[in-house]
Amino acid sequence: MVGCYFPADFQGEFVTQVSGKGVEGMANAPIQYSAINITFNAIPVWGYCHKRVGDNVLLIDRFNDKDCIRCFRLQRRSRNVIEMFAETFNRCYTLESAALASCSALNSTSILYRTKEIDGSATRREYCPIAGLYHFKYSVNNNSAVSLECNTFSSEFSNCPDGSILQLKFKRCNFEKRNVQYNCLGSWPGPNNSTYFALWDNDVNDGGPQYRCGLYYVDNKRGKTYMALSSDSSCTQDLDNATHGYETLILSKSLNQKKMPEYVITHVATFPKWAQGVWKESLIVNGTMTFTDLNGYNSYTFITVESNEETGRHIVYSKDQCEQSAFVCLLMRQRSENVLEFALGTINNPVSYQSDLCDDPYMDKRLWMTQSRIERVVESPCPITGQYVGRITDLSGMCAELSSNCNTREIMYFKVNDCESGELYEERTYLCLGQWEEDGVMYTYTMRNDTATNECFVGLIVNDEEIYIKEAGDHCTRNIDPKQQGMRLYKKGQCYGNSPSPAPTPMKPIPHNPIMRITTPRPRISGTTRISENAVSSSTLCRSTMSTTFMLLVAVVIAKVAFPYTLE
């Protein structure tokens, strides 16, 4: 039995624009936002999760003592941005069949911007898609008699020193000098080789948009980057393409002020042959490696000047997106055909080459960065074969299942369901990219198919009947004991398919009392899925304390967006 739920990546608190340019009849109103909460099984402002049909979901609510069913589709554009597709907000259906039929007529209706994570913590920013130091021209298409513009490449644009924040310094414009900061919330593919991006301006206090959406395009032939933003928080209003929008910028890369040291020019070495190629966040060509650290909000270029393939240690000249440079040791390991890891030494020399940078004392505190090959010649089978199940001890009544496919052994499935009813609450599919043994445990690097993100698992295979597994982040965090900290799973059956399951390779267990944990708890649903009358009354009471001005605005928005429903 499949339950109706929203995956953890969609859950959290969001806002969406409800007044201003992009909302019908409100073109001259200040831009206002409405809070949207996506829970495990509901979007309370629109209804409870009734049924999932492919990528679409039916939400059910009550209106005039009748069921009100509508079809939605939520498309995750980045970890902080969700695009909502619906037929229309003021129409719903009393019959499930009619609501299902409406799923074929969904249109993009709103953009949701994350304000809090699933656990209530602050939103995690993303590394800005346009990185480095630039100068730019600027113009505003606001149909006014006097256009605002900066018509020389004097203004400055960068994501320095924090790679998740864009810094714009307007200079020599026909308006006063000013500085603007944008927090980067994510990016996703756009039309004609352009890219959408989302920004958050937390200093807006004049009724303008706090959240911005735009397009950019990199023209390598001309050496320019073209960037345009919409006039509100939508990705469409006054935004045609990367060169035509409400605000447009033309970026030109700043000239490199730092000369490459003579030692680097005369001592270029090469990285190993097996490491050459395109990786998830890296590109290695001969002796040059570029790497984007999405967690640390930096990007680097490493040029190796001394290479020892036997030890895997390379002295490199490192330069980040802000032109900060130094000599440092880079340790590289091939974990499998499709996985490499590297770590940097604990000291560096910002001035000149230093022969002892790779000595043992400087390499004992390794923070590994894990990379997966993009163009894979061969696939890697998953380390488990069969169906394994177990109870999640810190989530009462919930069970987990980990299973493999006999015919495509590089695929691994993970499910969370109700132990008694079998109702499915979460389902994920992983592509195994490679695994290796280290310090008595096995690391498995995977790609999660629904989000195309990498995840690492650390496991212990006691025998063919018993395994332990624990999430280890996106860069295979060390010092995790899967038997003490992970989930304990027992074999239930063979792998999916016609072939019998070969036994996994036994590994020696480590002496700790086993416990099971789940790293992303799921609330268990019990009883009815309707909002109680008390909950509705409390919400109404809370709203009654708002200011009269805001209530008038909300009344207009609700009249146009939410009520009255057209029941069909």
pLDDT, tens digit (0-9, with 9 covering 90-100), for 24-58: 444 567 899 999 999 988 999 899 999 988 889 99
Closest by CA position to 383, among listed 342, 441, 341, 427: 441
Average pLDDT over the chain, rounded to an integer:
84
Q: How far is residue 207's CA from residue 553's CA, in Å, rounded to a whole number?
A: 13
**Sign of the dihedral defined by the CA atoms of residues 39, 43, 45, 51, in that order:** negative
- pLDDT bracket for residue 522 (50, 70, 90): very low
Considering the entire predicted model, what is its pTM?
Answer: 0.80
State percent of the chain over pLDDT 90: 64
Helices (H) and strands (E) in the chain, counts: 5, 36
Q: How far is residue 562's CA from residue 568's CA, in Å, rounded to a whole number?
A: 15
- pLDDT bracket for residue 482 (50, 70, 90): very high
Q: What pLDDT is stored for residue 353 in this prediction? A: 92
Q: Is 408 left (phi over 0), alpha (psi -120 to 50) or beta?
A: beta
- What are the φ/ψ torsions at residue 444 (nearest 5 degrees)? -125, 120
The strand pair at 211-219 and 195-200 is best described as: antiparallel
The DSSP bridge partners found for residue 343 are 331
More confident residue, 73 or 205: 73
**Structure-block tokens of residue 377:** 């010649």
Q: What pLDDT is stored for residue 2 in this prediction? A: 53
pLDDT, tens digit (0-9, with 9 covering 90-100), for 276-294: 999 999 999 999 999 999 9
Q: Annotate 268-297 with DSSP letters as a single string.
A: -----GGG-EEBSSEEEETTEEEEEETTTT
Closest by CA position to 63, among listed 99, 94, 106: 94
Q: How far is residue 323's CA from residue 558's CA, in Å, rounded to a whole number?
A: 51
Q: How far is residue 210's CA from residue 198's CA, in Å, rounded to a whole number?
A: 11
Among 131-145, 223-237, 470-484, 538-552, name the one with the lowest average pLDDT. 538-552
Which residue carries 């389902």 as its tokens?
A: 427
Among 15-29, 384-398, 421-435, name the one with the lowest average pLDDT. 15-29
**Structure-block tokens of residue 225:** 């980057």
For residue 326, pLDDT beyond 80: yes
Q: What pLDDT is stored for residue 171 in this prediction? A: 95
Q: What pLDDT is stored for residue 406 in this prediction? A: 83
Q: How far is residue 512's CA from residue 485's CA, in Å, rounded to a whole number?
A: 10
- What are the φ/ψ torsions at residue 266 (nearest 5 degrees)? -95, -5
Query: What count of other Cβ atoms lies within 10 Å of the Cβ of residue 55?
Result: 12
* SS3 annotation, 181-193: EEEEEEEEECCCC
pLDDT, tens digit (0-9, with 9 covering 90-100), for 115-173: 999 888 999 999 999 999 999 999 998 877 778 899 999 999 999 999 999 999 999 99
More confident residue, 252 or 141: 252
Q: How many CA atoms lie within 13 Å of 490's alpha carbon, on the beta-carbon side?
A: 6
Q: What pLDDT is stored for residue 544 in this prediction? A: 33
The strand pair at 91-92 and 566-567 is best described as: parallel
State percent of the chain over pLDDT 70: 85
Among 238-247, 328-337, 414-423, 507-516, name the one with the lowest average pLDDT. 507-516
Q: How many CA atoms lie within 13 Å of 8's alpha carbon, on the beta-carbon side?
A: 14
Q: What pLDDT is stored for residue 264 in this prediction? A: 95
Provide the 3-class DSSP secondary structure of residue 539: helix
